[in-house]
Amino acid sequence: MPQISEQELLGMPASDYMNEKQLSFFQEYLLELKSDLLTEVEQGQQAIATTKLALADDLDRAAAEQENQQRLRFTGRKNLLLRKIQRALEKIKDGSYGYCEISGDPIGLRRLLIRPTAELSFEEKARQEILERNYSKRR
């Protein structure tokens, strides 16, 4: 668990945004998430590898195949999240973590606590989603 609490983190003045304690908090948080995800991915892969598809009943075989497909989807999503976590850890090292990739504005501690891999500020993400909705309506 990170050395400081979320309350202490949120209680810091805005002028101290992404100070050493905050960066350390998020680095530890991201490393914990990464470790948990790696364990989940490994367990999912083991479950897929040990599934017996040579079951006698066609219905059992179909259910096992469907379960494996679902595990593969979940594992794929977790692998995507692992890449985002790795990217966030690299941003911590280069000093760009916590800042919007488009505007350069602070993303905000509350948003990062909810989504520690966030790369866009709330405003930029909302604007992007509006553009995507408008684009999809035009099709």
Kindly tell me if the per-residue pLDDT of 2 is higher than 60. Answer: no
Average confidence score pLDDT of the chain = 89
Residue-wise pLDDT for 91-116, tens only, equals 999 999 999 999 999 999 999 999 99
Q: What is the pLDDT of residue 102?
A: 94
- pLDDT attached to residue 111: 95
pTM of the model: 0.83
The pLDDT value recorded for residue 52 is: 65
List of residues 6+ apart from 98 with CB closer than 8 A:
17, 18, 22, 23, 26, 91, 106, 107, 112
Give per-residue pLDDT as tens, 49-105.
877 666 668 887 788 888 889 988 999 999 999 999 999 999 999 999 999 999 999
Report the pLDDT value the prediction gives residue 49, as an integer from 0 to 100: 80
Q: By the 8 A CB rule, do 37 and 78 touch?
A: yes
CATH homologous superfamily for the domain 6-138: DksA, coiled-coil domain (1.20.120.910)
In this predicted structure, the answer to whether residue 17 has a pLDDT above a threshold of 60 is: yes
Q: Encoding tokens for residue 99?
A: 């800042």
